[in-house]
A and B are shown apart, each in its own frame.
Chain A
Amino acid sequence: MNWYQHHETVDQLAAAYVLGTLQGPARRRFEALITRKTLLRLAVDDWTGRLAPMLTALPPVEPSPALWKAVAERTAVQDSAKPVPLWRRIFSAIPAGALAMGVMVGVLAPALWNAQLGGDPQAQLPASYVGVLGTAEGKPGLIVSSLRHGKSIDVKQVVAVPVPQGMQLHLWRIDTEGRVLPLGPIPSGKWVQVPLPEPAERLFAQAVELAVSIERVDDKPVAPQLPFVYRGLCGKLWK
């Protein structure tokens, strides 16, 4: 049995890690494993929660005005008073876990896909766009794919969301500027193919994320009217 499967050892190492006495190469090895081993991460989370009151109990110290200015400059946050765009207000209705999951899966899926191909140098998937979208509960929910120059998308619903009568799922793309543009309705179903109004390359080239909201059947919304029920990164599967 590896040490990281031994609960007591993991607990002691996690405690030392959070306390700060695990140092040097041991700390680096431990940190590398935290991201891959659930038991380690949970143990670290436990100890973080256990010891954190030693930090959160400290009396607050008001920062100088220069601190935010410096942070804003380094993060290029120029205008914090700028109104929040509609799509961001809609996003904010989705729990952070779901948002992060969508991003994570969106990033990981293409990488994993490529990694699998790596085992067989002869295997080549056609150049495609793939979006792996998470649900509001933070689970993988919807996979959207299209050939790079295809004229249709394949949509696989991993986790279905209830769509009220008179409503339908509506697919959106989000570009690098944060603009949300409609791609059109998609039927509910475990696996559906939907024709595209334009070649995929034209529709998805600028997309960094895809999202799905529920909209009225008769509407042709130019912006989401209801919160997104799926959301995730849009990946390009070609070199």
Chain B
Amino acid sequence: MSAAAADTVEQLMGRVALRDHSAFKVLFDHTASRLLAVASRVLLDRAQAEDVVQDVFVKLWNQAVQRTPSQPCTLAWMCVVTRNMAIDHLRKRRPETPLQWVDADGDEHQHDVADAQYSPMEQLLAHEDGARLGSCLKRLEPEPRQAVLFAFYEGLSHIQIAQRMQKPLGTIKAWTRRSLMRLKGCMEACA
């Protein structure tokens, strides 16, 4: 979405705060496909992703009036809200789906990041707005970068990442903390 379109989100949200139904529909048409992409990426389940996006829009509608002017009101913000709600949804269902499991046929499965064609790195690097972040992510060591991606896209806690990557908890905490600060430094240097 371009900067002009991002401004549109801001303006539409202002009108939604006034209970403008037509503006709400336009906001939905502008953003639903992007939010559904986020929820689908986290949940890896289209039906549940639609449920989450539905909840996001209902929340936006219900809470629009309470928003303060200082709160960001952009597509980026909506994507983060969607991701957080998708992760909440994921955490509720997670006990039903262990990280590794064996099905009735004896085949081993592992809940993991999506396949290469949905590689977040590739998508970031290909995307105009995400190229800088993608470039900086690429400079991280592979394992710390993977830890960051596990946390961001799958909502895994430090402990869960440690289990997934079979590394000490302290190592995971240090990786994520240092990786984030290195990302910040890299992105500021590239600005």
Contacts and interface: CB of A to CB of B under 8 A. Distances in A.
A23 B161 CA distance: 13
Q: Helix, strand, loop or mixed for chain B's interface?
A: helix
A95 B14 contact: yes
B68 A104 contact: yes
Contacts of A74: 54, 58
A210 interface: no
B94 interface: no
A227 B187 CA distance: 41
Given A56-B130, A71-B54, A51 B152 contact: yes
A218 B180 CA distance: 62
A53 B127 CA distance: 8
Contacts of B40: 61
A53 B83 CA distance: 12
B62 interface: yes
Interface residues of A, number: 61
A149 to B, nearest CB: 29
A91 B16 CA distance: 11
Interface of A: 11-12, 15-16, 18-21, 23, 38, 41, 45, 47-64, 66-68, 70-72, 74-75, 77-82, 84, 88, 91-92, 94-101, 103-104, 107, 138, 178
Interface in B120-167: 120, 123-124, 126-127, 129-130, 132-134, 148, 151-153, 155-158
Contacts of B111: none
Given A48-B76, A64-B50, A99 B180 contact: no
Nearest to A15: B180
B76 A49 contact: yes
Nearest to A231: B18
Contacts of B126: 57
Interface in B83-129: 83-84, 87, 120, 123-124, 126-127, 129
Most B CB within 10 A of own CB, among A23, A52, A59: A52
